[in-house]
Amino acid sequence: MKETIQKLVIGVTSRSLFDLSESHRVFNEQGIDAFAAYQVENEDKPLKPGSAFPLVQKFLSLNSDGIERCEVVLLSRNSMDTGLRVFNSIAHHNLTIIRAAFCSGRNPWPYARAFSCDLYLSTESEDVRNALKAGVPAAQLVGDHTPSVGSEVRIAFDGDAVLFSDEAERIFHHEGLQAFQDSETLAAKTPLSAGPFKQFLFKLHELQSTYPPGECPIKTALVTARSAPSHERVVRTLREWGIRVDECVFLGGLPKSSFLAAFDADIFFDDQVNNVRSVGTGVGAHVVSGIKNEY
């Protein structure tokens, strides 16, 4: 009898999962009719992997023992007719994706909520903004990066405006570092409010707890620009939430790229686009929320 687990659901756009750059070029240069004809003519030609592909493979591998821990749902602006090539490519690459929404030009983010996605990955900034406003943890995949090695799913998060609200970051933005440090010291025992990715981290934590000790293939890390004394509020917040992370790095403003490489992150979620462009390994995911994305 298979064990019943509350599975993790990830929504991914077709342009995140596969390299559709050539198809997109045809659309931009020749229009929708030429794009449709191009897709139909090439529907038996498999698409190459896109930026989310290695991560999707790793997540789906969590089901290899017969227990369904993770489901990936395809969300696409294509019509079903032009999207047949995408489904053919899914079959070619042996990805166990059975659910999809083809939106015929409309933004697919509303289906991320309809499918109860715990995470939505897109290449479109506005798509991500709308999903976040609707309460879906969402991020824009930015740039091309070297896939991480190993079989573990390794996920890294920034703190403020990602796992936590941007309440502290707003003080830093308006009043500077010293005011931020003073405020965080005074509020050290007051948990931070939840950010857009708290629920996703909680779902990962729940999934990790289903594995025997020492055998979990999912690893999480908090990689934050914070340093002492602003570390205490972070520790107490995660304790209050009942969530643990496997690794925590307080950088005190140092660049994040070498530390993400040391963690061997498959994906890194951050509210600053410059940070996710320099991930090194894995893929950068821009969380388009918080004060840094209001200007």
Transcribe 150-200 into DSSP letters: SSSEEEEE-TBTTTB-SHHHHHHHHH-HHHHHHHHHHTTTSPPPB-TTHHH
Q: What's the pLDDT at 68?
A: 93
Average pLDDT over residues 168-174: 88
Average pLDDT score, the chain: 90
User: What percent of the chain has a predicted confidence (pLDDT) above 90?
Assistant: 62
Show the tokens assigned to 81.
């007719």
Average pLDDT over residues 165-178: 89
Distance CA 50, CA 52 (A): 6
Show the tokens assigned to 20.
């559709």
Average pLDDT over residues 63-88: 90
Task: State yes or no: pLDDT of 135 exceeds 90.
Answer: yes
205 touches 244 (CB < 8 A)? yes
Query: Which of 62-66, 137-141, 142-146, 179-183 is least confident?
Result: 142-146
Average pLDDT over residues 76-90: 88
Please provide the size of the chain in residues. 295
Q: What's the pLDDT at 4?
A: 62
Q: What's the pLDDT at 282?
A: 81
Four-way CATH pick for 8-140: 3.40.50.1000, 3.40.50.720, 3.30.70.260, 1.10.3720.10: 3.40.50.1000
Task: State yes or no: pLDDT of 293 exceeds 50.
Answer: yes
Average pLDDT over residues 205-209: 95
Give residue for tokens 């950010």: 195
Show the tokens assigned to 225.
């620009």
Question: How does pLDDT run across 2-29, given as a tens digit for each residue?
Answer: 456 789 999 999 999 999 888 878 878 8
Reduce the DSSP state of residue 262 to 3 states and report it.
helix
CATH class of the 153-290 domain in this structure: alpha beta
Query: Where exactly does CATH 3.40.50.1000 map onto the chain?
Result: 8-140, 153-290
Task: State yes or no: pLDDT of 204 exceeds 80.
Answer: yes
The residues carrying an active-site annotation are 158
Task: State yes or no: pLDDT of 145 exceeds 80.
Answer: no
pTM here is 0.92
Cα separations (Å) of 108 from 76, 114, 131, 244? 6, 10, 9, 32
